[in-house]
Amino acid sequence: MPILSRIPKRVRVVEVGPRDGLQNEPTRVASHNKISFINALSEAGLRVIETTSFVSPKAVPQMADAGDVMLGITPYPGVCYPVLVPNERGYDRARESGCTAIALFTAASEQFSQKNVNATIAETFQRFAPIAQRAREDGVWVRGYVSTATDCPYSGHVDPEDAIRVAERLIELGCDEVALADTVGLATPKRLGELLERACARLPVTRLALHLHDTGGLALANVIIGLDYGVTTFDAAAGGLGGCPFAPGAPGNLATERLLKLLHGLGIDTGIDETRVADAIEQLHAAYPELGRRNAA
């Protein structure tokens, strides 16, 4: 059956630019510029905008103003503003800033987990248990991330089974959605397809998202593979900014503008205005022309 006959009518795009996009930039973007960027993305029609992270400011100084950003944005009706939370301290800070959606993040590779959060994968789940319990009581929406779902910057190709086991544990923990992340942006359509073949057999595809970095230039091809398996949630960052400070060599996320061009070109509705996304990133670039320069190199 041709793929065009089974693509979805509508896709949900999760904008991660304000968080993943800015966490790895050497330039410290001022809180008021971050706030204008997020408001412009809300106006462009994005309905999920990962806004910031309540991580240790020693680990990621670019996100040290998480509370100011969260309290400074204009919450648009119907828009969800998740924030990254690594531990209970992060959850407390997020709640004090009015957050009603969080993202817990762990990995399929032990080496990456150690570098990223100074913990084994098992220890990340020990940290998550009380947060998940409190989130349930507080009515907070929870996303879970499986970083290095296909490749690890330290140990190479990752066994799909390792990624799926972590995804299953996140669902068991109570995550509403689990994002399988190609942290280094080196997944090939074949290897992503092998992961999704097994993941979709064991987990509801409606609760899976793909978070693709674009180092190898295959992120859009990987989106097509995702669509073919029935995935309808894709992450992207305006301007293709982004990367994890603890994943060397992995600069950019899939650019929101490129993702929208593909989806709209396939006749898929997103509810997002491409021109206004371009305006949002242009406005940020006007203040900080150097942003994303490493990604383009």
- Tell whether residue 162 is a contact of Mg ion (CB under 5 A): no
How far apart are CB 1 and Mg ion at their closest, in Å?
Answer: 32
Residue 188 interacts with which of Mg ion, ligand HMG, none, CB < 5 to 8 Å by class = none
When the beta carbons of 252 and 274 are compared against ligand HMG, the nearer one is: 252
How far apart are CB 62 and ligand HMG at their closest, in Å?
Answer: 9
**Residue with token string 């947060």:** 131
The helix, strand and coil proportions of the chain, stated in percent and rounded to the nearest 5, come to: 45, 15, 35
Site for ligand HMG, rule CB under 6 A: 20, 23, 53-60, 84, 86-87, 89-90, 93, 105, 116-118, 145, 147, 181, 183, 211, 213, 244, 246
How far apart are CB 237 and Mg ion at their closest, in Å?
Answer: 8
DSSP, residue by residue, 236-286: EBGGG----TTSTT--PBPBHHHHHHHHHHTT-B----HHHHHHHHHHHHH
When the beta carbons of 110 and 279 are compared against ligand HMG, the nearer one is: 110
Q: Which residues on neighbouring strands pair with residue 147, listed in sequence order?
A: 107
At position 120, the amino acid (one-letter code) is T
* CA distances in angstroms from 73 to 1, 102, 198, listed in the order given: 45, 16, 39
Helix (H, G, I), strand (E, B) or coil at 63: helix
When the beta carbons of 20 and 214 are compared against Mg ion, the nearer one is: 20
How far apart are CB 100 and ligand HMG at their closest, in Å?
Answer: 18
- Tell whether residue 20 is a contact of Mg ion (CB under 5 A): yes
244 belongs to the catalytic site: yes
Segment near Mg ion (CB under 5 A); pick from 17-25, 55-63, 76-84, 104-112 = 17-25
Cβ atoms 151, 183 nearer than 8 A: yes
Catalytic residues: 244
